[in-house]
Amino acid sequence: MKKNDEFIIDITDVTNEGSGVGKYEGMAVFVPLTAVGDTVKVKALKVKKTYAFGKLIEIISPSIDRIENDCEAFNKCGGCVYRHISYEAECKLKENKVYEVIKRIGGVDMKPQPIIPSISIYGYRNKAQYPVSGEGKVGFYAFHSHRIIPCADCSLQPRIFSKIVAVTEDWIKENNISIYEEEKHRGLLRHIYLRLAEVTNEIMFTAVINGDKLPFADRLIESLKSLCGENLKSVQININKKDTNVILGDKCEVLYGEPYITDVLCGIKVRLSPLSFYQVNRTMAEKLYEKAAEYAKPESRNILDLYCGAGTIGLSMAGSAKSIIGVEIIPEAIADAEFNARNNGIKNAEFICGDATTAANDLKKRKIHPDTVIVDPPRKGCTPELIATITNDFSPEGVVYVSCDPATLARDIKIFGENGYSLIEYTPVDLFPRTSHVETVAILKNELPMA
């Protein structure tokens, strides 16, 4: 096989990023926009020693899972990868993906519980971060690049977001707003960042800028108020002057309304700032936390919530737990968690600002022993040092692991196993329909006799 060769292959598998996989002359060929069961004509774009990347030329025979794509930006922006197959097929792929990595990386051949599918596959995202192009158009980055694809009316976002984007684009054009140029690190407006509180319908608009002031902000605010009415609760700027691809800076300034909006998750009122972590699919986050509670069995137990963020997982269990102790290294998140506890009248929850080792030493001095530890780490997973602290210093009966990356979950399951904690059960939960991402919640138990 060489570059520009054309050939016919059967698609038999799919990668974690959604590309179909077939074989030609013994080599794996990765082809975007294909589905398992397709027979396709492919053109080789890049050929390596043992694999190749191809472009779909023609569908010879379609998969039974194939459906019509309903988005013009599909395969251009870096969001969806499964708009060409049925949602049922997508869920099967995700469930199998989690199983395969747990088996291959974690070394545990255990089938997952059936995946919990999303209640809705449209309009489920409560947050959008839109880069702004030099032409003043708002969209999303292309896959593996910083090239902006116009896509204001994304079907994963609430419809109000597309209307806000349209108003913002008009304001940019009418007031000749300077747009940030990443290569030259000049220009003002970098991103438009929107949040919607699903239960209260409160809306937050944040302009991420390479500067200290937003010109003609009063005109933007009036346009947003006319569109959103009383639902517009907060307009802010986020100041990010760094030469970086990180979207948000550390400082926010309120231009209109309040610094926060409020949503309700698992019956708990949650305060959200631009910098707060919050699951983008609130409805399915409730399903995820319900499964975590099922595994944690918090009734009359001491629950330690590591990576607690604004405290949402732990606080959702506070009604039945003996105590909730949340640990988070980010001071602003701890402030949010403490506010959320007070605002909901929860008196059996406390929060420690620090890392797990700091918490372990503190709890030892106070002779507090957690019955269950919950971890909800970022995509990179837990460090071996954290796992050692959990298994040796906290020594809980069980560990509930909430993961946004099956590969790091599998790696950590193996490390937990080496420290005496075995995987008992795990359940994939789909918070991100039509994308390649999937959440998983697992329960591990201490199999070693207690000292």
Which CATH number characterizes residue 21's domain? 2.40.50.140
Q: What is the helix (H) or strand (E) element at residue 227, kind and residue range?
A: helix 217-228
Q: Mean per-residue pLDDT for 407-417?
A: 97
Q: How confident is the model at residue 4 (pLDDT cuts 50, 70, 90)?
A: very high
Which CATH number characterizes residue 419's domain? 3.40.50.150
Q: Is 353 a catalytic residue?
A: no
Q: Mean per-residue pLDDT for 183-206?
A: 96
Instruction: For the sheet with 189-196, list strands across it.
Output: 127-131, 189-196, 203-209, 232-239, 251-257
Q: What gap in Å lies between CA 91 and CA 117, rounded to an integer?
A: 7
Question: Residue 451: inside a domain, yes or no?
Answer: no
Are 427 and 287 in the same domain?
yes
pLDDT tens track for 145-169? 888 888 768 999 999 999 999 999 9
**By mean pLDDT, which of 5-19, 138-152, 176-190, 408-422 is the weakest?**
138-152
Q: How confident is the model at residue 323 (pLDDT cuts 50, 70, 90)?
A: very high
pLDDT > 90? residue 424: yes
pLDDT > 90? residue 362: no
Q: What's the confidence (pLDDT) of residue 365? A: 86
Q: Mean per-residue pLDDT for 196-208?
A: 98
Question: Residue 59: inside a domain, yes or no?
Answer: yes
pTM of the model: 0.92
**By mean pLDDT, which of 12-26, 140-154, 266-280 is the weakest?**
140-154
Of 265, 297, 320, which residue sits at a domain end?
265
Are 405 and 323 in the same domain?
yes
Q: What's the confidence (pLDDT) of residue 451? A: 44
Q: What's the confidence (pLDDT) of residue 291? A: 98
For tokens 């492919």, name the residue: 42
Q: What's the confidence (pLDDT) of residue 449? A: 53
Closest CA to 89 of 105, 69, 73, 67: 67
Question: Residue 146: inside a domain, yes or no?
Answer: yes
Are 185 and 243 in the same domain?
yes
Using a 10 angstrom Cβ sphere, with 0-12 exposed, 13-18 middle and 19 or more buried, the burial of residue 275 is middle
Q: Mean per-residue pLDDT for 20-32?
A: 95
Reported as half-sphere exposure (CB side, CA atoms, 13 A), residue 138 has a value of 27
Are 433 and 307 in the same domain?
yes
Q: What's the confidence (pLDDT) of residue 172? A: 96
Q: What gap in Å lies between CA 215 and CA 177, rounded to an integer?
A: 8
CA gyration radius, the chain? 24
pLDDT averaged over the chain?
A: 94
Q: Which of 71, 154, 382, 404 is catalytic?
A: 404
Which CATH number characterizes residue 156's domain? 2.40.50.1070
Are 407 and 316 in the same domain?
yes
**Domain carrying residue 36:** 6-66
Q: What's the confidence (pLDDT) of residue 448? A: 64
**By mean pLDDT, which of 51-65, 137-151, 322-336 is the weakest?**
137-151
